Amino acid sequence: MTQRKNYWSCSKFADWIRGTVKGTAKTGSGWREWEENAKQKHPIRYWIAEEVLDVIQNVIFWPVDKIYDAKYYINNRWVTETHALTAHPRDIRLGTWCDVGYRFLPCLFNELVDFVEIELAWRQIACGIKEDRRKYGAPFWATGRFRWRNWRSAQAGLDHLEWASKLTFDEEWIAADDPNYKKPTPQALGAIEMRELYKWWTEAYRKRPDPHEASGWSAWCDRKRDKTGHKFWLDDETETAEEKAQGKLIMNILHKIEEHYKAEEEAMMIRLIKIRESLWT
């Protein structure tokens, strides 16, 4: 259902049709009790107020809804640009809203991916030999004065990081008796960290199981729907003590997984920020 400021099913007119006042905020038990009482008193009037009014409103407002859909798409896409720094459409779909706090992770790491696969890939062939261009399938416009910054090669970028990660201080940098002799250079340390972060985002992060599935919460919700129909409340008074304990246990597991993911994501973002000065070509 389209989000609206006002729903006809929540209006005073709906209360009149329904024969019962809907009111405002209630607990899960409170809404269930109200719904049961309203259905029992006037089942047909309840159906008209709760279902038919929504259908009528959706039909009447369809043209306006489409205009607002277009308006918000344009606003999100080109005005507020909620997909930027830049986020890959796989992580934040173009034209959709995403709160600031949830943009940081995908935007920062999508920029890292672009840096590795575009900037470092270009550097790999720009500083190499002509054979490298053929090796990575680089087109003629990937380098030179008329270079377009849209050629992408993950392998070329990773190969550059592999080369950079092996750089050490040698005689060209310091004397042989220096404590740092043959130790990794700052560029090498940055490349090692960059590669680990890149691998985490493109591989480990993508393979993390969904918390709702891993905790059993989705399966628990499915069982609740099978038992109670399309609606259910977390404080359902018909639950047995065992069912309540099981639901609480699953919820705790879900929260633990989510907190673990949040801590991991925060740690990775901090690591990325710490190597920001290494992100240069």
pLDDT tens, residue by residue, 127-173: 776 778 889 988 887 877 667 777 899 999 999 999 999 999 887 77
Domain that holds residue 122: 104-207
Q: Give pLDDT, residue 227.
A: 66
Q: What is the pLDDT of residues 46-88, one digit of tens each?
A: 999 999 999 999 999 899 889 888 877 887 888 777 787 888 9
Is 66 within a domain? no
Band of pLDDT at residue 185, cut at 50, 70 and 90: very high
Sign of the Cα torsion 28, 30, 33, 35 reads negative
Distance CA 221, CA 32 (A): 17
Q: Is 157 helix (H, G, I), strand (E, B) or coil?
A: helix
Q: What is the DSSP letter of 178?
A: S
Is 50 within a domain? no
Q: Give pLDDT, residue 134.
A: 86
Number of domains within the chain: 1
Distance CA 189, CA 172 (A): 18
The DSSP code sequence of 89-126 is TTTS-TT----HHHHHHHHHHHHHHHIIIIIIHHHHHH
Is 77 within a domain? no
**For residues 53 and 9, is the Cβ–Cβ distance under 8 A?**
yes
Q: What is the pLDDT of residues 194-219, one digit of tens each?
A: 999 999 999 999 999 999 999 999 99
Is 139 within a domain? yes
Sign of the Cα torsion 242, 248, 251, 253 reads negative
**Mean pLDDT to the nearest integer, 10-16:** 90
Is 138 within a domain? yes
| pLDDT exceeds 70 at position 229 | no
Give the relative orientation of helices 154-164 and 186-199 as an angle to the nearest 10 degrees: 140
